[in-house]
Structure 1
Amino acid sequence: MSRIVVVTDSTASLPQKVVAERGIVVVPLQVVIGADVMDEGAEGATPELVAEALRGFRPVSTSRPSPSVMLEAYEQAAREGATGVVSIHLSGQMSGTFESAQLAAREASIPVTAVDTRQVGIATGYAVLAAVDVLDAGGSGEDAAAAARSRAAASSSLFYVDTLEYLRRGGRVGAAAALLGGALAVKPLLTIKDGVVATLEKVRTATRALSRLEELAALAAEDRQVDVCVAHLASPDRAGQLTERLADRLADNLSGREVWCGELGAVLGAHVGPGMIAVCVAPVHEA
């Protein structure tokens, strides 16, 4: 009997309880703070460490898992009885993680299907959950990969940053955009388009930015059943307020499902900086 295992990376931002319950394998990316290299996670690089380092102007960078690390995850799955793997990752336009998965797949002893979600954060996580749902319903690895791609493409990732400087430092937006934002003292609203960060709108205040995030999330939900998550870096109060408003406003779309709210992981946090607020709206996938 075939058993397909889903592998993802730590930027998928799935709660540990969900990872354990659904049998998902998570490969960590790494964060480099000064001379310290740490795996992303509760026992290594945490959002709090990253926010503190950024505020203190310490050098912070991130790195992908190597192909050998990805290969070990696949081989461990094989040793535990897996007959195949679906490996689902953040946008290949923004990280080499997907490339590592592709390279490792060529060497694996079992078939591996690597999926580039062209998304980041929990949008990748929701794609992972769609794949697991398909497998649990008896679908094939190809069906699961297709479901992951479909849900990722249908999801909306919307976020606000206090400054574009951190994205500029990491090469995620052009220097001109960062300078323009600073010069006009605007609060940029961003999205993920075609696998990269794109400007959505510019507003004048943080209060207006959060209000627009709520409006844009509601527009993204339309009349569909959706899952919603609010993420933040070092901004729990504002994230909590937005979570409550979205839970009320999208009650019909949620049908009793909770709006997840949590701190952004260390790797993504390193590129957006303290004060970031994000909303992901992901249409529910019917397995």
Structure 2
Amino acid sequence: MKVAIATDTNSSMTGREAARKGVYLLPMPVMVDGRACLEGVDITNEQMYAAMKEHKEVFSSQPSPGQLLDFWQGIFRDGWDEVVYIPMSSGLSNSCSTAIQLAATCGGKVHVVDNHRISLTQAASVDSALALARQGKTAREIKAWLEERAYDASIYITVDSMEYLKKGGRVTPAAAAFATVLNLKPVLTIQGDKLDTYAKARGMQQAEQKMVEALQQDRATRFGAVPDARLRVETAGTFESEEQAARWRALVQAAFPGIPVSYVHLPCSIACHVGINAAGTGILKKEVG
């Protein structure tokens, strides 16, 4: 059986990267002042940041059932027998549960993975799925393998502005105003299903340091028995300049000299919720390869 691997742009994967790896990539829709845009097709990160600086209404959406079915049918027209589709966590969006329902109409040929990941960790699952497919695993086996290891990862993120957390209903207007006055930055974490508060910091510098310390704590405890060669440490953000992104990556790299640390731009669908100049990082076990 020929098994195709597919994901969405919530994985932080670009169209160019997906094409290089042989992954089918579904562009996620975002709304900008009432206009529907497909990530990487109708809107870039830079255009999203510009819209947010102008305080335009932006929010994430999900593909229609027709778009998702067309996406899968296009994969089958390319000659694949089965599809492993890896969307963002069901705990963060309804798009996963919608995909699971639609897959039931595809005769058992589409296997939707709900391994409770997003962005950096979701992309790592895609890499593992590709490696497993090359080993000859079936779509059903790949799905089971990924879901069994769903929680072997941590994500931390902090925001520079409370504006979009307030708009998304994750903080109250009063709490957002209080935090802005005191320059408080929330450090948030994703340990699978939901976005939870991990800590609070006074200013971005302290928030970034708390994230580095959280990674180091995870390294010493949850991943204490895992050698450096079997770990991935990643950074991400919605930084407006490459210099800011490089500075954040270098800060995390200095804390983990034995592990190569990369940086990716968070997708527009996540930027809608965290705003401009947010910083994120994650640690996880290398699952395959």
User: TM-score under structure 1 normalisation?
Assistant: 0.89
Tell me what 1:27 maps to: 26
8 Å CA contact 1:124, 1:152 repeated in 2:
no
> Aligned equivalents of 1:141 and 1:160: distance in 2?
36
Shift of residue 218, structure 1, vs aligned partner: 2.5
Worse overlay, 225-234 or 165-174: 165-174
Q: 1:155 aligns with which of 149, 153, 156?
A: 153
Deviations 1:54-104 (CA, angstroms, capped at 9, x unpaired):
221111122101122111122122222211111111122322211231132
Distance change (3 Å), C-alpha of 1:239 and 1:212: farther
| Corresponding residue number in structure 2 for 1:39 | 38
More off after superposition, 160-169 vs 24-33: 160-169
Q: Given the alignment of the two structures, is residue 270 of structure 1 paired with residue 272 of structure 2, yes or no?
A: yes
Tell me which amino acid in the other structure corresponds to 1:40. E
Change (3 A) 1:103 1:13: same
Counterpart position of 2:255:
249
Map Cα deviations across residues 34-65 of structure 1 (whole Å, 9 max, x no partner): 13211011x32222222221221111122101
CA contact (8 A) 2:12 2:265 kept: no
Distance verdict in 2 for CA 1:100–1:5, change over 3 Å: same
- What is aligned with 2:101? 103
Could you list the runs of 4 or more consecutive aligned residues of structure 1 that deviate by over 6 angstroms after TM superposition? Answer: none
**SS state at 1:251 partner:** coil
Deviations 1:227-253 (A, max 9, x none): 22211113443431231233343232x
Say if 2:239 and 2:279, in contact at 8 Å, map to a contact too: no
How far apart are 1:15 and its partner, in Å?
A: 4.3
Q: 1:193 to 1:249 in 2, by over 3 A?
A: closer
2:239 corresponds to: 234
Report the AA paired with residue 169 of structure 1: K
Conserved 8 A contact 1:166-1:270:
yes
- Partner letter of residue 237 of structure 1? E
Give percent identity, aligned residues only.
24
> Cα gap change, 1:32/1:251 in structure 2, threshold over 3 Å: closer, same or farther?
same
Of the three residues 206, 209, 212, the one matched with 2:207 is 209
What runs of 5+ residues in structure 1 fail to find an aligned partner?
A: none
Q: Which amino acid aligns with 1:160?
A: T
Paired residues for 1:71-90 under 5 Å:
71-90=69-88
Q: Secondary structure at the match of 2:143?
A: helix
Q: Is the 8 A contact 2:151 2:192 kept in 1?
A: no
Q: Report the Cα distance in structure 1 between the residues aligned to 2:117 and 2:170, rounded to whole angstroms.
A: 13
Q: 1:91 to 1:164 in 2, by over 3 A?
A: farther
Superposition pairs of residues 182-193 of structure 1, within 5 angstroms: 182=180, 184-193=182-191
Let me know the Cα RMSD of the aligned residues: 2.2
Instruction: Indicate conservation of the 8 Å contact 2:235/2:252, yes or no.
Output: no
Q: CA, structure 1 residues 211+151, in 2 after alignment: closer, same or farther (shift >3 Å)?
A: same
Q: Number of matched residues? A: 281
CA distance in 1: counterparts of 2:90 and 2:288, whole angstroms: 26
CA 1:107 to 1:174, structure 2 compared with 1: closer, same or farther past 3 Å?
farther
Q: Where in structure 2 are there 5+ consecutive unaligned residues?
A: none
Residue identity opposite 1:260 in structure 2? S
Scaled by the length of structure 2, the TM-score of the pair is 0.88
Q: Is the 8 A contact 1:75 1:108 kept in 2?
A: no
